[in-house]
Amino acid sequence: MAVLVIAEHDNSNLKSSTLNTITAAKKLSDDIHLFILGSNIGELTNKSKDIHFLSKVIKCDNEKLKNFLPELSAPLISNLAENYSHILAPASTFGKNLLPRVSALLDITQISDVIDIVSNDTFVRPIYAGNAISQVQTNQKINLLTIRPTSFEKSEDSGGDASIEEIPFVDTDLKTIFINREVSKSDRPELGNARIVVSGGRGLENSDNFKLLYELADKLNAAVGASRAAVDSGYIGNEYQVGQTGKMVAPELYIAVGISGAIQHLAGMKESKVIVAINKDLEAPIFNVADYGLSSDLFQAIPEIIKELDLLNQIES
């Protein structure tokens, strides 16, 4: 049977989490359909049919779907459900907000935050902030899964040739009005998707000192992240938080600066390939997961790293 992937996008471009989710779907079926719900998504739909592995792109295009209110999207998804063995969405705030509603409408228990697919009915997911890994099995007629994007590679966005199908919008009575989104603009790579992440914690002491971290991030073409302590202290916005209740990241290089390494923070970054910890407290638990630890005052270390990187660049050029 076919597998349905719910697209996360901004009405112009797919989020990379969608491509990770398609790779997960590939483990379940060769017949993968992508469902795009949005407004003015003609161009987005046309681009998406080129994605490798997809056999069909289904679109539902309506002004009311512009802001992805889950009350409107969920019934449109559950209406299609009987044609599918599995329905997948990224385990981002988009998917977490939406898929449980589909679970309610279909009376199916959803499996959240899948990190591995063992077979068509057996899935692996972290529990207790990743301090235990649970393997679960279900024999429900439809499997609802949210997929942790960092656990699956991105599928190629070219090389495919999917057909396009349009389904009509069906309205739902809804009292919610979308006001706005406060999105911080940045030229740096997206946090969930960056090859290198430079993260700051309470050790940075204030928001002004985060500039030092931005400078290092720009030198490395890295995304910036933060611990909950730093976000709660107002040093940086919530969208930068890495951890159990923030974003999950798994970059090739994660540099933790002035972060002590609470269990809840480690949950969000310990899958990173190489971890560097810079902290003056040698007892900080972050050193237990670090490949390279540097016990040093960050206000000295960071400018020195920037200098060393400049030297390297000079040698190379």
If one asks whether residue 148 binds other proteins (CB under 8 A), the answer comes out as no
Q: Distances in Å between the alpha carbon of 210 and those of 105, 198, 229, 237? A: 45, 11, 13, 11
Cα dihedral value 280, 286, 292, 297, nearest 10: -10
Q: Which helix (H) or strand (E) holds 16?
A: helix 16-26
Return the range that interacts with other proteins (CB under 8 A); candidates 40-48, 51-59, 197-205, 302-310.
302-310
Residues 198-257 that bind other proteins (CB under 8 A): 220, 228, 231-232, 237-239, 244-245, 247, 252-253
Q: Return the number of the residue (93 or 163) whose C-beta is nearest other proteins.
A: 93
Size of the site for other proteins (CB under 8 A): 83
CB of 49 to other proteins, least distance (A): 26
CB of 163 to other proteins, least distance (A): 31
AA identity, residue 145: L
Give the Cα separation of 257 and 72 in Å (integer): 42
Q: What number of other Cβ atoms are within 10 A of residue 316's Cβ? A: 6
Residues 36-95 that bind other proteins (CB under 8 A): 70-71, 74, 92-94
CB of 94 to other proteins, least distance (A): 7
Q: Which residues of 89-105 are buried (b: 16+ CB within 10 A; e: fewer)?
A: bbbbebbbebbbbbbee
CB of 43 to other proteins, least distance (A): 21
CB of 148 to other proteins, least distance (A): 11
